[in-house]
Structure 1
Amino acid sequence: MTLALEFGHVEPIAVYFDDLDAMGIVHNARYAVLLERAVAPYWTARGHYFDHNGPSTPDLVHAVREFSITYLRPIRGAGEVHVHFWLNHMGQTSAEYGFQFLSADRQTCFAEGRRAIVRLDPATLRPTAWTESAREVGESLLKP
């Protein structure tokens, strides 16, 4: 039975050979990179991206405050994985993602977790408020 996804977004991503460890499963440290591969296209399609000119919006200057993951089953070999992600919360200066790594048929959940980020002022590296543009995109990801 396919998992019903009623909020957030699902992004198919590629798992490459260099994401694997010596046993042929996705290395634990690669999950954060795989999550970035899934989240970045969503924001890019909505005007928030990096290119040769730097960040398109100041909201891209942020740092991960916390990353927590529970590994449920190994992802074996290269291929396609689906990443379901959403926002649990979007505060004044921070946001908290929830995420799941799913099989391409969405019948298996390999891992799940959360990632908290804080928007930073580029000059001071102190927390600063999200722009309206980021809030609009964030609201489209909020879990009801």
Structure 2
Amino acid sequence: MHGHVQPFEVHFDDLDAMGIVHNARYAVFLERALSQWWASRGHSYAGGRPTTSDVMHAVAEYSISYRSPVRGTGEIGVHFWVETLGESSAVYRFRILSADGQTVHAEGRRVNVKLDPRTLRPAPWSEDARSAARELLAVPVEELAQQR
């Protein structure tokens, strides 16, 4: 499987009045899973400050389709990968899965744009971030080169 699956715990406060995960929480699950993955590679916030300039990015686009509700608390999986990596953008795809990976609860797309911290204009990813992001590519860079 390409990308990464981050195990994730659903808590009681993630649920709505019907006992299913509230729709807005799915975006939070992805945000936290991505943050954990990037932090493990040195890209995070420490002491209220970014550890690298690549942490400075904005979500330019977000879409999600709900397939099957997550009912109650317990473990799920957040599967994410990079569909395309541009000069200053990254297109993520993601799925919220049951703990066993058999049920897709939701799936979607998120586009991030790296920003220059002074101008808030798009800026290129560092080579370190690009190298890390390549681990998440759905199609390895070598295969993309062969397809051209």
What range is the shorter-chain TM-score in? over 0.9
The unaligned stretches of length 5 or more in structure 2 are 140-148
* 1:37 and 2:6 aligned: no
TM superposition shift of 1:85: 0.3
Instruction: Give the whole-Å Cα distance in 1 for the aligned partners of 2:42 and 2:116.
Output: 19
User: Which of 116, 120, 124 is the matching residue for 2:119?
Assistant: 124
Q: Distance in 1 between matches of 2:121 and 2:108?
A: 26
| Structure 1 gaps, min length 5 | 1-5
1:18 to 13, 22, 45: 13
Cα separation, 2, equivalents of 1:89 and 1:96:
5
Q: Tell me by how many angstroms 1:53 deviates.
A: 5.0
1:110 aligns with 2:105: yes
1:67 counterpart (38, 62, 69): 62
**1:53 and 1:38 mapped to 2: Cα distance?**
19
Q: List per-residue Cα deviations over 1:67-102 (Å, max 9, x = no partner).
A: 100000000111111011000001001000000011
User: Larger deviation: 36-45 or 80-89?
Assistant: 36-45
**Superposition TM-score, scaled by structure 2 size:** 0.92
Partner of 2:145: none
Provide closer, same or farther for how the CA distance between residues 53 and 69 of structure 1 changes in structure 2, counting only shifts above 3 A: closer
Matches within 5 A, 1:79-94: 79-94=74-89
Runs of 4+ in structure 1 deviating by more than 6 angstroms, as ranges, are none
How many pairs align? 139
Aligned mates of 1:23, 1:53 — CA distance in 2: 36
Give the CA RMSD over aligned residues.
0.8
TM-score normalised to structure 1 length: 0.94
Alpha-carbon deviations, 1:32-89, whole Å to 9, x = none?
1110121111111111111115111000000001110000000011111101100000
Amino acid at match of 2:132: V
